[in-house]
Amino acid sequence: MKRMLSGIKPSGQLTLGNYIGALRNFVNYQDEYEMFVFIANLHCITVYQDPQELRTNLRDAATLYLACGLDPKKATIFLQSDIKEHAQLGFILACNSYQGELNRMTQYKEKIAKKEKSITVGLYTYPVLMASDIIIYDCDFVPVGEDQKQHVELARDIAERFNNNYGQTFNIPQPLIPQVGARIMDLVDPTKKMSKSDDNAKGCIYLLDDLKIARKKIMSAVTDNEANVHYDKTKQPGISNLLTIMSSLTTEPIASIEARYQGIGYGTFKKEVADVVCVTLASIQDRYHQIKASDILDQVLADGAKKVSAIASKKLHEVQVKIGIEIK
Ligand code: TYM
């Protein structure tokens, strides 16, 4: 069975973008692959987090993994920081990565372009830790949304370089990007990605949003004057985004939705998108509340950590021997 691994960084509440671009795909893949899914809590602290809020977001995210359908009998779910080897290998990989590579990372460049103050060293080296998360388990596939593809490609480059320098050590993973829904856009500004850390919560649907609020966000999503439900990312980014959301959640092809809406106004279309989103959120939220009340989360995370820690420590040992830092 091929191995698949992915993670989410709950630096805020999980969003519909996280669900469509990543989480629901983890669920779909869990029968076919050996699936490792973790909570990237170390990645969260690359930007200051209020500790109390962070704890809540981490527990909520792990609960949402289960609520969205990850089954701990099939998928191994764990907390990144429980596996100390990620950070240790991360430092070793940092010594096998170049500043020029990190300077080219789009997410980092965007922060620089926005002239954001106090960019931490952790934020800069974050893709190296992500490479460690991935290659420590020799996974074959990494299902992610489009924005993380570049980071998975860096992980491949680092793994290949390490193999060339020290002999075959790491499997080279492949990113898996969904065909539809790899980049869900902000509802207020559909030229930018829907993001949990955004200042304007109106553009972002959170999985735990009150359904009335979620509906209102969709109904007020920015559209255009074309009066045509048609997919054209350049001319009609808002409508294209709503089409993508609907198609992703229903599996109805975009062309078929367009055909159904010929000559029908945006108001009716938005209402149907809101209905579809609310049905999805309602079922996730139902399960979220049940799981929260059941108190199974700590056991799931403990079992997950136990399972993967044996793999991670074996790989780290192999690496340390290869690079010559073990002296026994
Ligand atoms: P993060 O937390 O930003 O996003 C988690 C996953 O959700 C996807 N995603 C989206 N997909 C479609 N539309 C959107 N608007 C949208 N927003 C987010 C992301 O592409 C991602 O797949 N660095 C990673 C976490 C991480 C990781 C890893 C992932 C750490 N180590 C190892 C895979 C493997 C991150 O910040 O994702």
Nearest CA to ligand 1 atom 3: 9
- Asked if residue 276 and residue 229 are part of one domain, the reply reads yes
Q: Which residues pair with 137 in a beta bridge?
A: none
C-beta of 21 in contact with ligand 1 (< 6 A) = yes
CA distances to 88, 93, 172, 305 from 320, rounded to whole Å, are 10, 11, 19, 21
Return the structure tokens found at 230: 């048609």
- Asked if residue 242 and residue 229 are part of one domain, the reply reads yes
Tens digit of pLDDT for each residue in 21-37?
Answer: 999 999 999 999 999 99
Nearest CA to ligand 1 atom 31: 130
Tens digit of pLDDT for each residue in 280-291?
Answer: 999 999 999 999
CA 1 to ligand 1 center in whole angstroms: 24
7 domain-assigned: yes
Q: Shortest CA distance to 204 belongs to which of 222, 191, 217, 223?
A: 217
Residue 200 has pLDDT above 80, yes or no: no
- Asked if residue 210 and residue 109 are part of one domain, the reply reads no
Residue 197 confidence (pLDDT): 77
CA 18 to ligand 1 center in whole angstroms: 7
- Asked if residue 307 and residue 286 are part of one domain, the reply reads no
Q: Report helix angle 266-294 to 51-67, nearest 10.
A: 100
CATH of the domain at 224: 1.10.240.10
User: Is there a contact between 194 and 17 (Cβ–Cβ < 8 Å)?
Assistant: yes
Catalytic residue among 73, 74, 84, 111: 111
- Asked if residue 153 and residue 11 are part of one domain, the reply reads yes
Q: How many CB atoms lie within 10 A of CB 262?
A: 9
Average pLDDT on 308-325 reads 98
Q: State the residue range of the domain holding 237.
A: 201-290
Residues contacting 13, CB < 8 A, separation 6+: 57, 60, 196, 206, 207, 208
162 domain-assigned: yes
Judged by average pLDDT, the poorest of 108-112, 204-208, 223-227, 228-232 is: 108-112
- Asked if residue 61 and residue 138 are part of one domain, the reply reads yes
- Asked if residue 145 and residue 78 are part of one domain, the reply reads yes
CA 309 to ligand 1 center in whole angstroms: 22
- Asked if residue 271 and residue 299 are part of one domain, the reply reads no
H helix and E strand count, the chain: 14, 5
Do β-strands 75-79 and 141-143 pair in parallel, antiparallel, or remain unpaired?
unpaired
229 domain-assigned: yes
Catalytic residue among 2, 117, 193, 315: 193
216 domain-assigned: yes
9 domain-assigned: yes
Nearest CA to ligand 1 atom 16: 17
pTM metric for this prediction: 0.97
User: Is there a contact between 206 and 61 (Cβ–Cβ < 8 Å)?
Assistant: no
C-beta of 8 in contact with ligand 1 (< 6 A) = yes
- Asked if residue 300 and residue 274 are part of one domain, the reply reads no
116 band by pLDDT with thresholds 50, 70 and 90: confident
Q: Specify burial of residue 16 (Cβ count, 10 A radius: 0-12, 13-18, 19+).
A: buried
C-beta of 175 in contact with ligand 1 (< 6 A) = no
Report the mean per-residue pLDDT for the chain. 96
C-beta of 193 in contact with ligand 1 (< 6 A) = yes
CA 324 to ligand 1 center in whole angstroms: 34
CA 151 to ligand 1 center in whole angstroms: 10
- Asked if residue 113 and residue 14 are part of one domain, the reply reads yes
257 domain-assigned: yes
- Asked if residue 132 and residue 70 are part of one domain, the reply reads yes
Tens digit of pLDDT for each residue in 253-273?
Answer: 999 999 999 999 999 999 999
CATH of the domain at 140: 3.40.50.620
**Which atom of ligand 1 is closest in space to residue 196's alpha carbon?**
17
C-beta of 43 in contact with ligand 1 (< 6 A) = yes
User: Could you write out the three-class secondary structure of 33-46?
Assistant: CEEEEEECHHHHCC
Torsion of CA 10, 149, 158, 62, to 10 degrees: 20
Residue 59 confidence (pLDDT): 98
Catalytic residue among 9, 196, 217, 315: 196
CA distances to 2, 35, 36, 47, 85 from 74, rounded to whole Å, are 13, 7, 9, 33, 23
Average pLDDT on 293-304 reads 96
190 domain-assigned: no
189 domain-assigned: no
- Asked if residue 221 and residue 173 are part of one domain, the reply reads no
Domain count, the chain: 2
Tens digit of pLDDT for each residue in 126-184?
Answer: 999 999 999 999 999 999 999 999 999 999 999 999 999 999 999 999 999 999 999 99
**Which atom of ligand 1 is closest in space to residue 143's alpha carbon?**
22
Phi, psi for 287 (deg, rounded to 5): -70, -35
Active site residue 117: no
Residue 118 confidence (pLDDT): 83
Residue 115 confidence (pLDDT): 81
